[in-house]
Amino acid sequence: MKTTGYRQLCCGLAAYFCLTFSLCAQKVSVGLFFDMPVKTATFAVQSGSYAIIVDDTLLIAAVDRGAAMLLSSSGSGVRLRISGESMGTFSSVKAVGMGDEGLFSITCLNPLQPTLSYAQHAFIRSAKDGSGLLIVNQLDERFYLSGVVEAETGCAAKPEFFKAQAILSRTYLYAHFNRHGKDGFNLCDGVHCQAYKGLLTRCRRIRAAVNETEGTIVIDGEKRPITPSFHANCGGQTCHSENVWREKLPYLRSVRDEHCTYEQGARWQKRIALSEWRDYMSRSGIRVKTPRQLEFEQPLRKKYYEVNGKKVELTKIRHRFGLRSTFFDVGLAGGDVLLTGRGYGHGVGLCQEGAIQMAERGWGCEKILRHYYKNTSIINFNKARSTQAMQQDSMLFLFNPWRNELPDTTTFVDDVVARDSVEVQE
């Protein structure tokens, strides 16, 4: 029993320091494969040692590298097999990395998906709608952010670019911390929240960028985390938010960008049959007597394609014809319409290829962010929330993502492992 007392003392002290000095790592629970019904998946330990807990009872105290579990959906439960042997059906299965460490892989077998690696812990239960398994990866915020940044950027750029991207991903995380609270986790791993594909190659530069910017986020004039939109290449000029979405945001203003114009995504061309273009425009209210009237120039970004005083939103045209951007001119070539375009993506917020070049040319991450997001401040949220002034600042405090703990996935894991480990040892 001494062990239990000692562990409780340690846990108590750790909790005290967490609350007082924000020293401990904040955890994030990510719903994996959230947009697909997972019927069967395998969990395999890649490094470290894992405790397997079923229905909040310790099943195995330590499974090591190479051990694999087969998990399948069974009505309202999870059927578990280990090394071919059936362990039973449970309402939840938890794989807890001991010492808060460990790396594991998940392979979805039905539907078949590539194997992905994840850090720390996995919780599996039946999805609420009974469509399959809900697999949740609970991990330190820093590991999550490293995964998100790598999914968005790859690993080949200068540190200041990765820092800018880490600050944006953290800003999104803090602003949407409980987006999936009703589903039993914080964020999903799809583009609905932020794309997260586990740890991929575990890029060292990205990990450093996440650590060096710890707690840093971008807030607007009303001290709210910004909507941190970004895109691949702006083609030389970014877009006002209201030209792409309905909302006019004071920090998502159109800015010039000479840094991206020689990069991969800067230029494109597309031919479209004249009849197809003309038919679409005719249905949209633009009727012409001669094809030449369809020509259109956009030296600076416009919101509409405009002919003879009639106009169509460029975003609609982009969507209809699957164009890389809305920043294009329209000419004629042979029997076709020839679109000559600039940029790749919606064009709002940070231009990734521009930011990569800025970092190459010695710009710091804050200067890069201030270029693309106007009227904003870059703050350290951890420091800000510990000061009296900020705690009383209702707007910022409202967004404190740690005010509400998630009851389902984050509780009692340590307690169960501590309790049952001691019982097993005795």
Interface residues toward Zn ion, by CB under 5 A: 188, 192-193, 234, 257, 260, 351, 354
Q: Could you tell me which residues come within 8 angstroms of residue 49 by beta carbon, excluding any fewer than 6 positions away?
A: 62, 63, 64, 97, 98, 102
Shortest CB 87 distance to Zn ion, Å = 31
What is the CA angle 328-345-268, rounded to 5? 40
Q: What b/e string do you get for 205-233 counting C-beta neighbours within 10 Å, with b at 16 or more? A: bbbebbeebbbbbbbbeebebbbbbbbbb
Shortest CB 323 distance to Zn ion, Å = 17
d(CA 266, CA 275): 28
Whose Cβ is closer to Zn ion: residue 38's or residue 188's? 188
Shortest CB 86 distance to Zn ion, Å = 34
Shortest CB 152 distance to Zn ion, Å = 15
Whose Cβ is closer to Zn ion: residue 44's or residue 187's? 187
Shortest CB 302 distance to Zn ion, Å = 17
Whose Cβ is closer to Zn ion: residue 191's or residue 333's? 191
Shortest CB 187 distance to Zn ion, Å = 6
d(CA 280, CA 401): 46
Furthest-apart CA atoms within the chain: distance in Å: 91
Shortest CB 209 distance to Zn ion, Å = 20
Shortest CB 181 distance to Zn ion, Å = 11
Shortest CB 380 distance to Zn ion, Å = 26
Using the Cα atoms of residue 98, residue 104, residue 142 and residue 226 in order, give the sign of their dihedral.
negative
Shortest CB 350 distance to Zn ion, Å = 9
CB atoms within 10 A of CB 425: 8
Whose Cβ is closer to Zn ion: residue 137's or residue 421's? 137
Whose Cβ is closer to Zn ion: residue 102's or residue 225's? 225
Whose Cβ is closer to Zn ion: residue 178's or residue 201's? 178
